[in-house]
Amino acid sequence: MAINQLKVPGKVFSGNDSYLKMKDIIESEEVKNVLLITDKGIEGAGIIQPVLELLREAGVNSEIFYHVQAEPTHNDVTQLVSEIGDTPADYIVAVGGGSVLDVAKLVSVLKGATYSIGNLLETPGIAKKQVKSLLIPTTCGTGSEATCNAIVGVPEKGIKIGIVNDALIPDAAILDAVFVKNLPQKHLAAAAVDALCHCVECYTSNKANAFSDMFAAEGAKLIFHNIREAYANPANLEARSQLLIGSFYGGVAITSSGTTAVHALSYPLGGEFHIPHGVANAILFEKVMRVNKPDITNELAALCDTVYPEKATLSINEKAEVMIEDIADIVQKLDIPTDLAGFGVELKDLDFLVEAGSGVRRLLDNNKRALTKEEITEIYLSVLNDQTGGEKNE
């Protein structure tokens, strides 16, 4: 029997005002100097204030860095690490979406290290924790507050690359819905579909195991049941807080299992065409599941049993179809733009996409169906075709 391992942050808090638990960590670990990492969007939304006040009251010295770019590249990370320099820090606190959290995790292994992010892209295994980290997600999506991954754009290759190392798992995470209260609908939509991808892909992955199945299935249940409501009714904080938990579960599932072809094929859409991560996944999600279906019918049906137990009398094939149709319905109801032309992607880019997407072996190897080049071409063509009502592939 294979050996499975569950890896989670050392401390995880959830619930209203759970951010106050930060004080316990500061006291018990005698934290004196905090590096606070966030971005301009978070600063503008005013969510950082309670954290600043808490740090002040706790008598902690804090230095704030606001310069994280959305969908960061490795160059952005290098710049931030050099800006931070030898600013004293015994804890990193990050408040933000996946972009901020990933950068903070990278800083936690790069600050004062003898290796660079360039070295980590080549040899991720050398990463060692340099500074502890506490992450507070402000989008209900990426699950980065749980994962051992940090994803950066590599512009010279037109692709995104996930750096994977257990040292990237944060030391603490706080899931407090107050931080997602004012999350704009557009960002909620992209991030929450990303979280759903994490759960569904991990559940249908070659690496799926008893631990990841539990988190992926429960995460999927929370997200399928709350995502439409959270989007349609921004005042429903309960729905948002369920998404926050579901996305954390998705992150735990990633660390134990792994995402598959949706994420693999979305990397060039993000890396070369700067399509936000969640949007790129949303564009591909249904199409990839359809091509994968012959090899994952049982897994999709089992997921249906957890998410929609009332459909128990349907056949296995019908249950799998319910899940794929539901995915398509969510992407449509959340108004996610699936017009690739709007992002500057054209038919002439097909060869690049197929080449770059086929190269993401780390994730394609997790895909139950061994996708052929023809199938990868078919998937990209079908999303290119969506913009013209399916004319090009007829």
- Name the residues that contact Zn ion, by CB under 5 A: 194
Q: How far is the CB of 390 from Zn ion (least distance, A)?
A: 27
Give the nearer residue to Zn ion in terms of CB position, either 51 or 330. Answer: 330
98 lies in the binding site for ligand NAD (CB under 6 A) = yes
63: CB partners within 8 A, 6+ apart: 33, 34, 35, 36, 84, 87, 89
Q: Cα–Cα distance between 209 and 206 in angstroms, integer?
A: 9
Q: How far is the CB of 250 from ligand NAD (least distance, A)?
A: 8
188 lies in the binding site for ligand NAD (CB under 6 A) = no
Q: Is 365 exposed, middle or buried (0-12, 13-18, 19+ CB in 10 A)?
A: middle
- Choose, by CB under 6 A, the member of 13, 18, 36, 71 that binds ligand NAD: 71
Q: Cα–Cα distance between 266 and 145 in angstroms, integer?
A: 21
Q: Select from 48, 49, 62, 57 the least CA-distant residue to 23.
A: 57
Q: Cα–Cα distance between 394 and 388 in angstroms, integer?
A: 11
Residue at token pair 């502890």: 132
Give the nearer residue to ligand NAD in terms of CB position, either 215 or 301. Answer: 215
Give the nearer residue to ligand NAD in terms of CB position, either 133 or 382. Answer: 133
Binding at 243: pick from ligand NAD, Zn ion, none (beta carbon under 5-8 Å per type): none
144 lies in the binding site for ligand NAD (CB under 6 A) = yes
100 lies in the binding site for ligand NAD (CB under 6 A) = yes
Q: Is 114 exposed, middle or buried (0-12, 13-18, 19+ CB in 10 A)?
A: exposed
Q: How far is the CB of 141 from Zn ion (least distance, A)?
A: 8
76 lies in the binding site for ligand NAD (CB under 6 A) = no
What phi and psi values does residue 13 have, to the nearest 5 degrees? -120, 145
Q: Is 370 exposed, middle or buried (0-12, 13-18, 19+ CB in 10 A)?
A: exposed
Q: Cα–Cα distance between 341 and 293 in angstroms, integer?
A: 27
387 DSSP assignment:
G
39 lies in the binding site for ligand NAD (CB under 6 A) = yes
CB 365 within 8 A of CB 201: no
Token pair of 216 as six digits: 């992926």
DSSP run (H or E) holding 175: strand 172-175
Q: Cα–Cα distance between 181 and 220 in angstroms, integer?
A: 21
151 lies in the binding site for ligand NAD (CB under 6 A) = yes
256 lies in the binding site for ligand NAD (CB under 6 A) = no
Q: Cα–Cα distance between 128 and 144 in angstroms, integer?
A: 18
- Choose, by CB under 6 A, the member of 51, 55, 92, 97 that binds ligand NAD: 97
- Choose, by CB under 6 A, the member of 21, 74, 187, 369 that binds ligand NAD: 187
- Choose, by CB under 6 A, the member of 62, 133, 138, 260 that binds ligand NAD: 138
Size of residue set near ligand NAD by CB under 6 A: 36
387 lies in the binding site for ligand NAD (CB under 6 A) = no
135 lies in the binding site for ligand NAD (CB under 6 A) = no
133 lies in the binding site for ligand NAD (CB under 6 A) = no
Give the nearer residue to ligand NAD in terms of CB position, either 96 or 246. Answer: 96
Give the nearer residue to ligand NAD in terms of CB position, either 47 or 200. Answer: 47
Binding at 45: pick from Zn ion, ligand NAD, none (beta carbon under 5-8 Å per type): ligand NAD
Residue at token pair 């990633």: 254
Runs of H (alpha helix) within 272-349: 277-307, 316-333
Q: How far is the CB of 139 from ligand NAD (least distance, A)?
A: 3
Q: Would you tell me which residues interact with ligand NAD (CB under 6 A)?
A: 39, 41-42, 45, 47, 70-71, 96-100, 102, 138-139, 141-144, 147, 149-151, 160, 179-180, 182-184, 187, 190-191, 194, 254, 277-278
